[in-house]
Homo-oligomer: A and B are copies of this chain.
Amino acid sequence: MSVGVSVRPFDVARVRADFPILAQKIYGRDLVFLDSAASAQKPRAVIAAMTEAMERQYANVHRGIYWLSERATEAYENARDAAARLLKAYDRSEIVFTRNSTEAINLVAHSYGRGVLRPGQAVVISEMEHHANIVPWQMLRDAHGIDLRVAPITDSGEIDLVSLARLLEDGRVGLVALTHMSNVLGTCTPARRLAALAHAHGAKLLLDGSQAIVHRIVDVQEIDCDFYVFTGHKLYGPTGIGVLWARHELLEQMPPFLGGGDMISSVSFARSEWAAVPHKFEAGTPPIVEAIGLATAIAYVEALGYEAIAAHETTLVDHALSRLSSIPGLRIFGHAQDRGGVVSFALEGAHSHDIATLLDRQGIAVRAGHHCAEPLMQRLGVESTARASFGLYTTKDEIDALAEGIDRVREFFA
């Protein structure tokens, strides 16, 4: 093992001790939680930060001229700094807090889509997007006359770059909106190449980082993308908060999305003037306590270190692929070169729901269904898959438990 500050041994037992829920018994069995890609569990530090915020320094933010409100405002704006630091944003004013990834993408679809893109221009998505990165663009297409183009994926589950380039060729594409990591296939997409490709054709790039940010270091300056979104609850943070990062000049250009308090500079009945970015996009009382929780989650992940996290995860994925692929009748979806901690599979003779129910009775939580990616299911020729996904706290033993659990499912339906 190499010696150095940057490579810390990743102590999964210590990490697990930080997550109270992992002590939970399910039907009398140890909880094996393999659904972190849907939503991750929360470390004690996040829960404590939220509690502390509500017990000791809670008040509404931004307009209060008193101690509690000043403390809450400071904590809320510090959360913006934490998100800016995490993404290597150019500036804290580029961080807009939303409810979740879905709202962040909708914000771009409304504000950039209706406010900056012109009818006749096109948006490109891919076959492996989450509904959150499909439906807002369909609504934009139907309301605003935007052409919606779909980049195919290869059989190994990667973006087909040649086809993507062809979709961009006519120069009418204003925005490319792609996942940075598939929540079904685990595929990590080549962000820098995508940005270069989009820019070469005059298009902006939005990356849906809902999954990627959990597994990989993200540097929006290095990637050189234009929009990046993620959601707090998958990054070991609270529900009710998400992040939109966008280049300052784009945010300046975009009209506001929701109207209300805090996003205006002045209001009269005749006309309102908008506040400076990012406030222009944050109408009403924001998720204050959730922002504080998110800042703590970010600090938690940073303290463990993305290098260590990625190394841990690679071990898990390799182990899972080797264990699962030796199960007869089991088919794994997605064989990308660069992949994160998500493994989707189908089992001959057992529907994914039945798999999930039978695993549940063994204490093992996996997800079954279309994973909010119906078009991808169609591409794969299935209605649904079962999916195991891994977090900081996942162990190789848990993956063994999954493999054994699947064996029992096979026997049950044999």
Measured CB to CB, the residues of A under 8 A from B are 20-21, 24, 26-27, 31, 33, 35, 38-39, 41-42, 46-47, 50-51, 54-60, 63-69, 99-103, 105-106, 109, 130-132, 134-136, 138-139, 148, 150, 231, 233, 238-241, 256, 258-264, 266-269, 271-272, 283-290, 353, 356-357, 359-360, 364-369, 372, 374-375, 378
Contact = CB atoms under 8 A, between A and B. Distances in A.
Given A109-B259, A239-B285, 12 more contacts: A20-B55, A21-B68, A35-B60, A35-B64, A41-B58, A50-B50, A66-B364, A131-B260, A131-B272, A135-B263, A135-B267, A290-B290
B65 A38 contact: no
A72 B366 CA distance: 15
Q: Choose among A139, A262, A267 the residue with the greatest number of B CB atoms under 10 Å from its CB.
A: A267
A239 B286 contact: yes
12 contacts: A20-B54, A31-B68, A35-B66, A47-B54, A50-B50, A65-B360, A66-B360, A66-B366, A102-B283, A132-B260, A138-B272, A266-B374
Contact of A105 (B109, B260, B262): B260
A324 to B, nearest CB: 18
Contacts of A54: 20-21, 41-42, 46-47, 238
Contacts of A63: 38, 367, 369, 372
A39 B356 CA distance: 42
A55 B116 CA distance: 44
Given A264-B131, A365-B59, A365-B67, A103 B239 contact: no
A101 B39 CA distance: 26
A103 B239 CA distance: 17
A379 to B, nearest CB: 10
Q: Which of A26, A27, A289 is packed against the most chain B CB atoms within 10 Å? A: A289
User: What DSSP secondary structure best describes chain A's contact surface?
Assistant: mixed
A266 B66 CA distance: 50
Residue of A109, A372, A378 with highest tally of chain B CB at under 10 A: A372
Nearest to A262: B372
A309 to B, nearest CB: 21
Given A42-B54, A375-B268, A261 B67 contact: no
Contacts of A102: 258-261, 283-285
A130 B367 CA distance: 43
Contacts of A55: 20-21, 47
A260 B137 CA distance: 10
A337 to B, nearest CB: 26
A138 B259 contact: yes
A125 B285 CA distance: 21
B290 A106 contact: no
Contact of A131 (B20, B261, B288, B289): B261
Task: List 9 A-B pairs, minimum CB-CB distance, nearest first.
Answer: A102-B284, A135-B259, A240-B240, A240-B287, A102-B260, A261-B372, A39-B60, A65-B356, A132-B260
A70 to B, nearest CB: 9
A47 B106 CA distance: 31
A140 to B, nearest CB: 9
B106 A283 contact: yes
A267 B131 contact: yes
A123 to B, nearest CB: 12
A262 B371 CA distance: 10
A368 B268 contact: no
